[in-house]
Structures are given as C-alpha cells and as structure tokens.
Chains A and B, each alone.
Chain A
C-alpha cells in the first residue's frame, strides 16, 4: 500500500554535467500531466561546466508537487537525490528530518569526498552523518553500465544515461507512468536511435530496480490536485514571455521584431522565439545590447512590434536608446529578466533589484510604464499586456521578470487564439490637417504615428526636443516644458486604462497587508495562506503595474494598519511607495540571489502578532 501524501518537495542534485535539469524537467512534466499542482526552482551554477565534483559545480532542480495548491517550490525537501558527495553537502541542510536521500555510491569515492571537502575517512554515506534520514544507496553508475553492456555505446554516452536510471527509480517511488519521459526522449533523439533506445532502457531499468529490489524507500502517492476545469500545460517563465509576445503580434497584426544580445538569464526568450519564425517573428541577434535596442527602435519606426530583451547589465547599456524611444514616443517593449548584481554579480541567481533602475535609469525626464510578471505562467499575460500598452500609448514599456520566474515552471491554463483580445493599433494613413502633425495627441495623449511608405505624410522625428504638434526641432523654453510634461502625463494617464489593485487573499481591510511584486508571488501567497489558516488577520496584494501605480493603490494600502512590503532587494518598492504617497510602510527584504522561502515571509508576518 502506498502512503498518501498531500505534497512532496524533491530535489535532484548533481554535477552540472549530470543532467539534473533535464531530470527535473522530465519529472515536472510528468507530475503536471498527472494532474499535480507544481512549482519548480532550477538552481544552476554560473559556469556551464564548473570543475567536476566540486561544490560550485553542483546543479540542482527542485520541484514541489501536490494534490493541493502549491504556491512555491518549497523551503525544505522531502527527497534529495545526490549524484555525488558535493551535491549531498550543498543540499543536506535543506532536507527535512527523516527525509529520503538517494545517492549514487559511485559519486562518493575518495576523489569525490576530497573535492566536496569531506575527510577520506569521513564518507557520509558510510558513517552515521545521515542517521537522521533514510538513506538509499544505489550504485547508479554501475547499474547503468550493466544495463547498457550490449548497447555498443562508448563510456561517455553510457555515463550520460545515469540520470535516467535515477528518474526511473523515482517514478517507481511515486507510482508514475514512464510514458511522458519516453515521449520526450523519443522527441529529443529522433536522429540518434541508439541514444534514444539506451535512455529508455536505462529509465525502465531504474523503474524495475525499485520493483524488484527491497529498498528503504516505499511507494508514495501524491494524488492529482483539484483545479479549475480546463486544458493545461506546463510552462517556464521565459517561454511564456516569448509566447506572450507572439500572441501580441498575432493579435495586433504586427510583425514581431525581437532584437537582443545573448545574456543570462534572458537568452531562453530568444531561443524560444527563434523556433517560431513561421509567425513572421524576426529574431535579430545584434552585435551588442545597444544595437539590439537600436535596431528594435528602427523596426518599431517601420511598424513592427519592437521588443528587446535583456538582463540588468544590458538594460544599463540600452539606457540612452530607451531615452530616444521616450523622446520619439515610439512603441517599444524592453524585457529585463533581472539577475543578482551589481556588475556581473551572480548571473544565474535571481533578484528584484532593477526596479529603481527601470524607474529612473535614464537621463533627462524620461518616465515610462513598468510592469512585472508574478509567476512563470503570468509572464504570458504580462508580456502581452506590455505590448498592448506600448502600442496603444506610443511609449516604451519595461517588463520586469526575474531569473527565478524565468526558469521555473508551473501549470498554465493556456488560452486559445479566440480567447485573446485584439490589440487595436491605429496609424495615420492620410492627411487630416494642413500638414502632418506627428506630435498631435489623442485622448490618451498617444501621438500620431504614420509609417514610412505612407504617401503625403513624410516627416522627420528625432532625439532633439521637438516642437509640440509639428515635431520640428525646438529650443523654445516653454515648448520644452510642455513636451516634458506631456510625456509624463501620458504615462501617468495609463492608470486610467489598467485594472485596480486587488486583495488576492484575506480581508479587504484589516491588520496586515503583505504587498509584493514580481516573482515573490508564490512564496508570499503560501506564507499568507498559512498565517490566515492560523487565524491571523493578514492579506496579500501583488502589484503588477509599478509605474504608474493603479489608481486605488493608496486607498487600498490605507485600509490596513500595517503594510509589509516584501521584495528581493533592499527595499525598492517600499522606497517608491514612500516617495509617491508619503506613507509609512514596513520593508521585508532579502538579497541572497535566492527567492523567498515561505517560512521567511511567514516569520516576517508573525512579528505583527
């Protein structure tokens, strides 16, 4: 009989060459297809192949799956798969007492121990270091070799199949079907049948190993989660962002131009878009970050939906060009997948530290709207929305996501083409005034745009200050003031076109409001849920529109005795709120390159009670 458990946190950890990300992704798809709710957290080293067997070389993939709503990847693990000593060492402190550890004994030889900093006579899987846990020792390396003894594959290829053995074994523990992974392997190795067969064979061997060998592990059942009816898929944030852009392109009937330069953790948006050229998507891998945004501005001037994607260092380089787009008042979407900084910082680690930079990081008075995605699937809506605002309000928009949201995945009840609203874009096509007035505005203060190629509307625009209406160069003092204020007002007025801020969880007024933005959504939600279940008067609101703030923001914040702003930086949203509303807010922050753990937010909430 299998034990029934509501939710499980499992972490696959190994050398960066051990295929742990692939293993984790496969298990995630499997759990998602099975109907579990899921939240994932891939955590990779900065180097592609850090020295083998070392602590910095450990790559991990954490998955939280359950029959209940799962909001965050989980603070502590129930199951830890450690392919070597370094993987065990880095992740052990996260394992719950009594948790299950599955180790590949071949990864605990004296060389591995030394690299991980264990004394040669202190092999943790041989002494009583792990006595508080259930330890499952498997010589995965040897069993994989034996499985493939007749395959004719070379040693390296055989060794690459190890992760499938572990995955097969874990599938056995949770009573899962191997089908989703067999499908995945088949897709991945269409051109290499020998590798396809080997991987599938090892996957099955791992599963059968569980079946035939008496192990300390027993079968665990995590039933499907109850959720809204509909058709779902699993998606990571960067892919959802890419799909949001394509959807906006289809719905606005504009070709998508994505100008970018490879940068972690944003490159996956480029990789995904490059696969979908059949939608008329142009992906332009520029010579540098500046060319990426500049070319995008050129495309936007020509009537494309212009999007450029990057991370913090790239946003810094793009600053001058974004100011140009502010001045030209051309639609442009700038995606910043935030990572931990300053400078190169920790490129593979997450942070929300670019908010103030997005807000103020341009010369002159150059305000622009900022929106943030709160979860992997939400990246779709956020990027769709960013495009809509850019196009309809003739302005550059910054979309903030972060390394955590970008790489994590969750189930997504995806829309069909029909369910998505049209994005109406109006260009001027004929002369309505005596001459064409490119800086004449509509009720949103969006300006007249006429595309090159339109007869009779030939005109010039540029980065020099423009005369109101005509767009001609003007150094007139009063005109400059008018233009600066018009551009600012246009951005402010976007508040009239966006939804109000809502309390997502808890009472609409009361004692404590936890206010978050961006990728902290899941952890905050989980923590607030726990506090509410204990009878605490706590609520959760999450701001998507960071500039301008939704119209009711102050009113909503004033409905609570205390506002706790939780963010992965040193208090940037708190700073903006104070500056905008002269309001006292409490700040809960963390800057470790890691997302919030649920208990951290929970403890911050508890201080009010």
Chain B
C-alpha cells in the first residue's frame, strides 16, 4: 500500500478532530499535541497511513485528538499493540503515546522489548513524574522522598532513568525534549519519525495540577542555561551563559565540567557523536547527580534493520524456498494412505 504517489498535503488544522480536549487548562500535553500537529504535515506521510496508539493515562487521550487512525488501548500495552500492528502493516507510520506510569511501570516489560526488537515505531513518552489521571500518586520517575497523595511522608523507591533504561534495552534511537521548547520538540519529533527502528523520545511534560514546575529548571530560560545542555551531532558540549560559558571534557571515560574562561577552546571539549553507544551511556547518566546539565536532543541514533523488515524478509525467503507447497500439499503432510 504505497500511497506516497497520490499524497495530498494537509495542514496542522486538518489533523485536529471534533473531540473536546479534556486535559486540564495549562497542561503540558497541549503544547506537545500542538507540536505534533505542526510537525506531522511536514513529514509527507499520507494522513490515512498514520496510526496513533496509546495506553492509559492523561496523555493517552491523545489519539482522540488526532485526525488519523488511532487506538486508545489499555494500561501499558500500547507498545505491544503497536508491535503487532507494525509487523502486520509495515506500510503504516505507527506512533505510540505513553506516559511514565504507562510505559515504565505497568508497561515496562513491553517498552524494553519493543526497543530490543527495534520495531519501527515512534514512541513519545510524556514524562510528568506523577500519576495525573488517578489524581496524584507518585510514579516510577518521581524523585526520591517525594510527597504525594500516596506517599504523604515521602517516597522510598528510586526513580527510573528512562534513557539509561532504553539504552540498556538496546534501543537504536534515544532522545529527550521538553514541552516548553517548541522548536526543539518539533525537531525531535521529526527525528523520531526519520529513524527507521524503534525510537524513544522522552518529553518532559508539566502536570500543572499534581506536579507543577517539576521541570522548571530545564524549561525556564534563565535556569535552563546552566541546568540543560542541548546536544547537536558533531558539535562540542557547551552550555551556560555566553559570557560565562561552560563546557564538558571527557577525561578517559570521566566527564568533567570546565569553565571555558579557564583557557579551554571548543577543540578541547567532548564532541557529541550520536552514533557512539559508549558516550551515549555516559550522557544518559547526566541524571544521577546535579554535577552535570541535563542533556536534551538526540543522545543516540544508530540504524539497524528493523524487526518488521526482518520479519518480512524471512517470509519472502520462505515463500521462495517453498514455492511448491500450496495449502493442499500442506494439509496432506508427509505420509498418507488411501482407502478405496
């Protein structure tokens, strides 16, 4: 089903549906929906070939607001459903909308396996570090000691580092963005689509009702400068104020933040290489301590045959190998006898 030939361009507006949007006013989900609706028309995918699949959670209402094909499924299983759909229909552009509870708690198993298999599905993980739909319990990405409705005296479980988990699962595309950075988010959505294989884009999303400002340090233009670093392939790791620029150097495998003013040039710095898994592992660890800025952008991207493609190749091979076997031959098997 190659519809690319009679592709009719459509606008962001045409991707909207007549369904009333049920998110709380001010929720970060609105911004993400908007960036998706702005970006997708630029990707040259026929609208009918796009499928959004979600699980359960605030963000998972998303498919109802996209005028494409869609399925709002059950908690945690969107990645598994998307796997089946993409394998059955490699011609479709399949997107998963999921949250931190949906994909890292109840659906954790399916997330690591879709990444390991490298199914060409675009996973947008809306991370708000809280359970919103069930009204404010801590999630698997909530920080330690967090006070929530279900942890009035503080949480005791360590949060997941989603990107390190993804890399550990063998993901071939891992990126991070944030609801407040419209342009960056658009670019990341596009990259997510362009990658042929499982792509995980973690999006920091503000839940202004139950976990307001959880990512403020990364979203606020001032604090962002020293707390976030926006990665570019082949560019040095540099951040901070223009006047007071900071850089990251790599001593053997140990990263270190340096002041550019201390006599460092860009040539001394760590140059980002999206395809370097070892460096990606270190970048993903800019999470555990506050010594390093939080990286945004494509942390890792490496092309590798996608699962559904491998499945199709194997089917084709078998069809050629066993072209003489039709259903009647199959049903008869190896040994038959005839009664007259």
Contacts and interface: CB of A to CB of B under 8 A. Distances in A.
B332 A295 contact: no
A302 B72 contact: no
B262 interface: no
Given A295-B81, A457-B48, A462-B72, A250 B327 contact: yes
B19 A247 contact: no
B331 A415 contact: yes
A187 B321 CA distance: 18
Nearest to A251: B327
A499 interface: no
A231 B87 contact: no
Interface in A269-283: 276-282
Interface string B59-73: 000011011111111
B333 A235 contact: yes
A286 B3 contact: no
A452 interface: yes
A229 interface: yes
A463 B68 CA distance: 17
A287 B110 contact: yes
Contacts of B326: 417
A301 B81 contact: yes
Contact of A278 (B49, B68, B110, B325): B325
A417 B70 contact: no
B92 interface: yes
A231 B337 contact: yes
B328 A416 contact: yes
B44 to A, nearest CB: 15
A452 B69 contact: yes
Interface in A294-340: 294-304, 306, 320-321, 324, 328
B340 interface: yes
Interface in A132-191: 180, 183, 187
Secondary structure at chain A's binding surface: helix, strand, loop or mixed? Answer: mixed
B296 to A, nearest CB: 30
Given A282-B88, A294-B84, A301-B81, A460 B69 contact: yes
Interface in A400-424: 414-418, 420
Contact of B311 (A180, A282, A300): A282
Given A231-B337, A302-B84, A294 B72 contact: no
Nearest to A420: B327
Interface stretch (A29-37, A107-115, A204-212): A29-37
The residue among B315, B322, B328, B335 with the most chain A CB atoms within 10 A of its own CB is B335
Contacts of A288: 109
Given A231-B336, A233-B332, A458 B48 contact: yes
A295 B80 contact: yes
A100 interface: no
B89 A303 contact: yes
Contacts of B46: 455
Interface in B264-293: none
A453 B318 contact: no
Contacts of B113: 286-287, 291
A454 B315 contact: no
A472 interface: yes
B74 interface: yes
Interface in A425-480: 452-464, 472-473
Interface string A14-56: 0000000000000001001111000000000000000000000
A323 B89 CA distance: 23
Interface in B38-56: 46-49, 51-53, 56
Contact of B71 (A234, A276, A301, A303): A301
A417 B329 CA distance: 9
Contacts of B331: 243, 247, 414-417
B85 A302 contact: yes
Contact of B84 (A232, A299, A418): A299
Contact of A472 (B19, B53, B92, B323): B19
A296 B85 CA distance: 8
The residue among A291, A454, A464 with the most chain B CB atoms within 10 A of its own CB is A291
Contact of A304 (B88, B112, B319): B88
A453 B49 contact: yes
A232 B315 contact: no
A232 B336 contact: yes
A297 B81 contact: yes
B81 to A, nearest CB: 4
B318 A456 contact: no
A277 B332 CA distance: 17
A233 B3 contact: no
Contacts of A420: 327
Interface size grouping (class) on chain A: 35 or more
Contacts of B311: 282
Contacts of B322: 278
A63 to B, nearest CB: 16
B82 interface: yes
B134 interface: no
Contacts of A233: 332-333, 335-337
A452 B327 CA distance: 29
Interface size grouping (class) on chain B: 35 or more
B337 A463 contact: no
A53 to B, nearest CB: 34
Contacts of A461: 70-72
Contacts of A414: 331-333, 336
Contacts of B81: 294-295, 297-298, 301
Given A243-B330, A306-B84, A455-B3, A290 B77 contact: yes
A298 B318 contact: no
A302 B339 contact: no
Given A32-B337, A298-B83, A291 B110 contact: yes
A320 B66 CA distance: 26
B77 A277 contact: no
A228 interface: yes
B91 A295 contact: no
A452 B51 contact: yes
A396 B49 CA distance: 25
Contact of A473 (B19, B314, B333, B340): B19
B1 interface: yes
Given A255-B88, A294-B84, A320-B74, A458 B69 contact: yes
A230 B88 CA distance: 38
The residue among A230, A231, A279, A298 with the most chain B CB atoms within 10 A of its own CB is A298
B318 A277 contact: yes
A10 interface: no
Contact of B328 (A33, A234, A417): A417
B330 A279 contact: yes
Interface in B212-264: none
Contacts of B88: 255, 257, 282, 298-299, 302-304
B324 to A, nearest CB: 9
B96 to A, nearest CB: 11
Contacts of A32: 335, 337
A227 interface: yes
Given A230-B338, A233-B336, A294-B110, A459 B69 contact: yes
B217 to A, nearest CB: 36
A294 B337 contact: no
Contact of B334 (A187, A290, A298, A300): A187
B340 A229 contact: yes
A433 to B, nearest CB: 15
7 contacts: A232-B339, A233-B336, A233-B337, A257-B87, A278-B315, A281-B315, A295-B80
* CB-CB nearest 7 A-B residue pairs: A298-B84, A462-B72, A295-B84, A294-B80, A298-B85, A299-B88, A298-B81
Given A284-B87, A294-B110, 12 more contacts: A231-B339, A233-B332, A243-B330, A255-B88, A277-B314, A284-B83, A294-B81, A296-B84, A299-B84, A414-B332, A453-B1, A459-B70
Interface of B: 1, 3, 17, 19, 46-49, 51-53, 56, 63-64, 66-74, 77, 80-89, 91-92, 109-110, 112-113, 311, 314-315, 318-319, 321-323, 325-328, 330-340
